[in-house]
Structure 1
Amino acid sequence: MALIRSALFALVLLLITPVFAAVALLVTPLAPQTRYRIIGGWTSIAMWFIRHLLGIRHRVIGTEHLPDRPAVALCKHQSAWETIALQRILPPICFVLKRELLRLPFFGWGLARMPMIAIDRAAGKDALAQVVEQGRERLAEGFWVVVFPEGTRVAPGTTRRYKPGGAWLASHTGAPVVPIAHNAGEFWRRNAFVKTPGEIVVSIGPVIEGEGLTTEEINRRAEQWIEAEMRRLFPHHYPAEAA
């Protein structure tokens, strides 16, 4: 049954993505916030089918921690689910992503019309400059900036080194930092075609004020909170540590 539902979900995305890519081209002259709302219709449709077709629900805790001004969200990255769902959980957002994604047919073309931060990962330190330059613009436009500090999707129960891009942006702009933990990888695994039903818990942590802190300190505090929260909420993924 999960295989059939996953196949139908893939078909839904195959049908709606070219339509919204065309819509994205048509609304290019509009203001960024307006483009975000219109193109974001793709996300609303996808989330409906994620819940009602795939059977993947989600519950959010810690919304009282959300600041009333644009922030940098540092989020655990386990699947494609959070790249979709965060657009409905948080205020208007943009992602720091690889420039190559914008070249993907249909999906990338639509993505290019959204207020994203596209960087050249091969640029080394210049990539951090790109994040700050574009990130400052997005924050000024009222968008939150979402960064996956581990740089790639990781399996539940594992951790990769936290890279400094998001913390660097916060320390250079004074934007607050919001850490986010979740267990999406339990039901929507990395590169897995078949998704399984279940409830994803998304936990939003207390704000880390970026102003006056170094990049290293912001990164350390965010990693400390996220990894501790992962172990608190999902101890079954860390059996060796509980022994």
Structure 2
Amino acid sequence: MWITIPIATSIFLLAYPVPYKYRSKLISSWSSATLHVLRFICGLKFEISGKENIPDKPCIIFCKHQSTWETMALQLLFTPQVWVLKRELLWVPFFGWQLASMKSIAIDRSSGKKALKQIVEGGTRRLEEGNWVIIFPEGTRKRPGDKPDYKIGGAMLANKSNFDVLPIAHNAGEFWPKGQFVKKAGTIKMVIGPVIKSSELSTKEIHKAAEQWIESTQNAIYEKTY
């Protein structure tokens, strides 16, 4: 990754005048190549189930965040996509520049209501432009077994925009956990859940439904029932 990121970022930035829906395919190609190399070097494979639940039009993705792995795997499934992320990530050389070119919604997590307004306004605009919006509802990577801490911003975006939510669970943290350089060989399982209809629910109900599905599915994956 560290060898290819500077090269890939340079290509992405040179392609900046090209419409984003086409540039996003370059990002998806890089992610696919990186995951193939990960499989070859580290023996880390993956299985994705529930693809039949993916709707025909873009919506809001709520994904468990445990690893770097899912940031690449999601690129294979949803194109073009944008992320809601902490603004500090934009300051990382090369990687941050790439994120800035991806129409990311960069928020100051300490700003409270201002951050929520950014998520709702920026997320709605990008959804209406035809982009999938990726939200890691806990805001940061968690290790397997950590207590869930879901933020309200994504559910508020769904309620205000009337765009549906697609929940996703996985166990990437078992093989590539936060802060660990060495990866464990094996097969990551990712499960895509049924769409949560935002037009039929309140913000709190969307929030609760997404958290319950993701956490119960995480437990099922850990128990090897998926």
Match of 2:194 in 1: 206
Cα distance in 1, alignment partners of residues 131 and 44 from structure 2: 27
Q: 5 Å matches for 1:149-164?
A: 149-164=137-152
Distance change (3 Å), C-alpha of 1:159 and 1:93: farther
What is residue 185 of structure 1 aligned with on the other side? 173
CA distance in 2, matches of 1:91, 1:177: 16
Tell me the residue number matched to 1:58: 46
**C-alpha root-mean-square deviation of aligned residues, in Å?**
1.4
Q: What residue number does 1:42 align with?
A: 30
Specify every segment of 5 or more residues in structure 2 that has no aligned partner in the other structure, as ranges.
Answer: none
Asked if 2 retains the 8 angstrom alpha-carbon contact of 1:72 and 1:177, the reply is: yes
- Describe the shift of the 1:40–1:65 C-alpha distance in structure 2 as closer, same or farther (beyond 3 A): closer
Partner of 1:7: none
Residue 94 (structure 1) aligned with residue 95 (structure 2): no
Aligned ranges 1:139-178 → 2 under 5 Å: 139-178=127-166
In 2, Cα distance between equivalents of 1:49 and 1:82:
15
Identify which range, 31-40 or 181-190, moves more after superposition: 31-40
Provide, for residues 74-108 of structure 1, a one-character-per-residue CA deviation record: whole Å limited to 9, x for no partner.
11111111111111133432211111111111111
Identity of aligned residues (%): 48
Matches within 5 A, 1:6-155: 13-155=1-143
- CA deviations over 1:164-209 (Å, ceiling 9, x no partner): 1111110011111111111001100111000011101101111100
- The aligned residue for residue 211 of structure 2 is 223
Identify which range, 227-236 or 121-130, moves more after superposition: 227-236
Tell whether the 8 Å contact from 2:27 to 2:75 is kept in structure 1 after alignment: no
Deviations 1:119-139 (A, max 9, x none): 121221110110111111211
4+ residue runs of structure 1 moved beyond 4 angstroms?
none
Tell me the secondary structure at the aligned position of residue 11 of structure 2: helix
Aligned match of 1:194: 182
Distance in 2 between residues matched to 1:146 and 1:49, nearest whole Å:
24
TM-score (norm 1): 0.88
Contact 1:155 1:189 in 2 (8 A): yes
Please list every run of 5 or more consecutive structure 1 residues that lacks an aligned counterpart in the other structure. 1-12, 237-243
Distance 1:228 1:40 in 2: 29
Larger Rg: 1
Q: Secondary structure at the match of 1:40?
A: helix
Aligned to 1:53, the other structure's residue is in SS state: helix
